[in-house]
């Protein structure tokens, strides 16, 4: 699994040019930090199946985003090109959030959703996207996660029940993994 981690890190981490806008820099950083952190956490916990499913959903999200950008050809708010919908910055962030939501539940995913929305906000504030572009990225990521990611069964503590019957007592253990 360690070569997979090295490959994922090499593919996802980029060196961004220095900018004067710290908010935009934060969005650029979170765009990659959320998926790298999610994949790293899955690998570190030994969740090989989860890591593979995240990688599949992530790649599918990025692929679908690029296909949609080139097909729809929506002009950016700053009129720099026609690659606005959906947001390519928000897509990786929402891929991480929707993966965690699908695999582990909304209780675990809300901080990632908040960070993904912030990434979208930085793109809207920079006049590179509209909120509909950000919502489009969220929809693409959610579609891919719900299609490619299995919900992880909750680990449960053993349940012990005593069933007294004369002249014996039966104990029943139940564990779900």
Q: Look at residue 143 and tell me if it is in a domain.
A: yes
Its pTM stands at 0.76
Q: Look at residue 15 and tell me if it is in a domain.
A: no
Q: Look at residue 2 and tell me if it is in a domain.
A: no
pLDDT digits (tens, 9 = 90+) for 87-97: 999 999 999 99
The per-residue pLDDT for 53 is 97
Q: Look at residue 144 and tell me if it is in a domain.
A: yes
Question: How many domains would you assign to the chain?
Answer: 1
Range of the domain at 138: 21-174
Q: Is the dihedral of CA 8, 4, 7, 61 positive or negative?
A: negative
- In this prediction, residue 164 has a pLDDT band, given cuts at 50, 70 and 90, of low
The per-residue pLDDT for 165 is 60
Q: Look at residue 151 and tell me if it is in a domain.
A: yes
The per-residue pLDDT for 123 is 95
Q: Look at residue 6 and tell me if it is in a domain.
A: no
CB 115 within 8 A of CB 69: no
What is the phi-psi region of residue 14: left when phi exceeds 0, alpha when psi lies from -120 to 50, beta otherwise? beta
Query: Do the bridges between strand 168-174 and strand 159-165 make them parallel or antiparallel, or are there none, so unpaired?
Result: antiparallel
Give whole-number Cα distances, 84 to 72, 88, 93, in Å: 9, 8, 16
């Amino acid at each position: 699994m360690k070569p997979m981690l090295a490959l994922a890190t090499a593919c996802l981490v980029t060196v961004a040019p220095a900018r004067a806008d710290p908010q935009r820099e934060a969005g650029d950083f979170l765009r990659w930090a959320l998926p790298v952190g999610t994949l790293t956490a899955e690998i570190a916990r030994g969740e090989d199946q989860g890591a593979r499913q995240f990688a599949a959903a992530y790649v599918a999200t990025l692929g679908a985003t690029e296909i949609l950008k080139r097909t729809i050809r929506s002009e950016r708010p700053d009129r720099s090109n026609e690659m606005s919908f959906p947001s390519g910055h928000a897509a990786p962030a929402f891929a991480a959030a929707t993966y965690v939501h699908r695999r582990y539940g909304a209780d675990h995913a809300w901080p990632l959703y908040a960070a993904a929305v912030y990434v979208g906000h930085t793109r809207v504030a920079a006049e590179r996207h509209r909120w509909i572009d950000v919502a489009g990225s969220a929809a693409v990521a959610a579609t891919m996660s719900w299609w490619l990611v299995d919900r992880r069964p909750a680990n449960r503590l053993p349940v012990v029940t005593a069933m007294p019957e004369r002249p014996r007592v039966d104990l029943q253990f139940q564990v779900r993994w």
